[in-house]
Amino acid sequence: MNPLARVLARWSAGKAAGDDASPRPDALPEGTMLGTVQLQRPVARGATSVLYGGIDLTSQAPVAVKVLCPSGTPEQAAEARARFLRDAETASRLVHPHIVRVFGGGQVRGVAFMVMEWLAGSDLTRWTRPGRLLPDAVVLAIAADLADALAHAHRQGIVHRDVKPANAVFDPAAQRVVLTDLGLASQPDVEASRSGVMLGSPQYMAPELLAGRNADPRSDLYALGVLLFELLAGRPPFEAATMGALLRAVATDLPPRLQDLRGGMPGADALDELIAPLLAKDPDERPADARAWANQARLQRLWLIAPPAT
């Protein structure tokens, strides 16, 4: 266990002795010390958390610190903090070049947080807009690396549950993509699923999840298919003006074909064949193994780079 992880383990025992103030987790001032980590300014804000930059003063290494901002009753907030810390512990067991490294999590003065590696680059939403799309070969490399990351998590019995462009960071200079925000990642029989709470982003949720079934590796692969489609087409496969119409489309409609959206561009039909199994309505028709699909994506990428001579 590295020194930072040991410090975080001690913090997870609970409230710091002699410090009764409860700071606002969404407004921690620059310079706040969390053990050996000194916080910098917030770099991103989500619905339930804030991501701060930070420096681990023992190594002078930059880190990212995700701080939970729970809402609801005190009991609901306490449950959210407990789930957040469990997820931090789960994520810290995943060591893979395409999964963000989580060093640990803790709670001090009622603030729950996790410390992660600092990532260069931007999340993939930057490259999902027409006019900013990445080359097809780069997109296939990204999708294959994310599939490998999911395969690693699935072998550990972990389902991500919220695969989407906003939860993957791509560094063009290093040509590295990293799966992030395993805040919903958990064992497939997570309590929230049993209670009927919808966790995740509906646009990326597999049809069976909308019907109330538990998440499993095949639902992660469906979400990967939506992400891949969006990177290639500049739009998700299903769009609608209302949430109800969107859910109906996800449950019943067939996705449009890339070869139609892209005006018959050469190679689009092969890309359609690669994506179609991921977006199958029936989870039993999706790939059984994410790594095997990743190998198919890499073969298709090679064909794009150097098509066979005719």
User: What's the pLDDT tens digit per position in 57-90?
Assistant: 888 999 999 999 998 899 999 999 998 888 888 8
Give per-residue pLDDT as tens, 103-144. 988 888 888 899 999 999 999 999 999 899 999 999 999 999
Q: What is the mean pLDDT of the chain?
A: 86
Q: What are the domain boundaries of the chain?
A: 3-117, 122-305
pLDDT at 108: 80
- Name the token pair of 228: 């891949």
Q: Residue 2: pLDDT band by 50, 70, 90 thresholds? A: low
- With a CB cutoff of 8 Å and minimum separation 6, the contacts of 166 are 123, 124, 125, 181
Number of other residues whose CB lies within 10 A of the CB of residue 288: 10
Percentage above 70 pLDDT, the chain: 86
- 169-202 pLDDT, tens digit per residue, is 999 999 999 999 875 555 444 444 333 334 568 8
- Please tell me which residue, 304 or 53, carries the higher pLDDT value: 53
Confidence of residue 237 (pLDDT cuts 50, 70, 90): very high
- pLDDT confidence of residue 111: 86
- Mean pLDDT within 219-242: 96
pLDDT reading at 161 higher than 60: yes
The answer, yes or no, to whether residue 213 has pLDDT greater than 50, is yes
The CATH number that domain 122-305 falls under is 1.10.510.10
Query: Do 68 and 49 touch, CB atoms closer than 8 A?
Result: yes
Residue 162 annotated to the active site: yes
* The CATH number of domain 3-117 is 1.10.150.20: no
Instruction: Catalytic residue, from 123, 148, 162, 220: name it.
Output: 162
In the predicted model, is pLDDT for residue 272 greater than 90? yes
Angle between helices 217-233 and 290-305 (to 10 degrees): 20
The whole-angstrom separation of Cα 281 and Cα 193 is 20
